[in-house]
Amino acid sequence: MREEGVVIDTYGEFAKVEARRSASCEGCASKDTCKPNSNTSMIIEVINPINARVGDRICFEVEAGALLKSTFVIYLMPVIFLLIGAWAGGEISKIYPLFKREEILSVISGSLFFLVSVFILISLNRYFSKNKRYKPMIKEILQN
């Protein structure tokens, strides 16, 4: 996915870019979590391999495979864990009736599995944030 923006700060091999929301942002489920400065722009940390400078208008890109993988992990993993936990709780309550209603153990188990997935996501966030494959990269300088 290619986007355009303006470099507002550089440090080491990274740059902060102010990017305008594009039409593709409108269909995105995460559009409200991109830390917008206003309704039309957001600040993004990108890898700066071509040494763009402050004020340069640039084109940056996120690798499609990395975007799909991280989207899967963030959105689907908690749902899958919730469903597996609810199913496991229902099966366990059939074998060992701990409560009068077997749905109670399903709810408790599903909630616990969901919480486990949240802790896994917190750990994976460290991995994703340090791995350059998941960071946008400046591809070209459009205008100095």
Q: Within this chain, do residues 69 and 125 fall inside the same structural domain, yes or no?
A: yes
Q: Within this chain, do residues 75 and 121 fall inside the same structural domain, yes or no?
A: yes
Distances (CA, A) of 46 to 22, 50, 66: 17, 11, 14
Q: Within this chain, do residues 59 and 69 fall inside the same structural domain, yes or no?
A: no
Name residue, tokens 């039309």: 40
Mean pLDDT of 5-17: 93
Q: Which pLDDT tens digit goes with each residue over 33-54?
A: 555 545 668 899 999 999 999 9
DSSP letter (8 states) at residue 106? H
Q: Which pLDDT tens digit goes with each residue over 91-105?
A: 998 888 887 787 899
Q: For residue 88, which of 55, 61, 110 has the smallest C-alpha distance?
A: 110
**Residue-level pLDDT at 18:** 92
Q: Within this chain, do residues 125 and 78 fall inside the same structural domain, yes or no?
A: yes
Provide the whole-model pTM: 0.66
Q: For residue 77, which of 30, 121, 33, 107 has the smallest C-alpha distance?
A: 121
Domain extent, residue 6, equals: 2-63+133-143
Q: Within this chain, do residues 125 and 75 fall inside the same structural domain, yes or no?
A: yes
CATH code of the domain containing 139 = 2.40.50.140
The kind and range of the H/E element at 71 are helix 64-71
Q: Which range, 19-23, 25-29, 75-79, is most confident?
A: 75-79
Q: Within this chain, do residues 77 and 121 fall inside the same structural domain, yes or no?
A: yes
User: What is residue 41's three-state secondary structure?
Assistant: strand
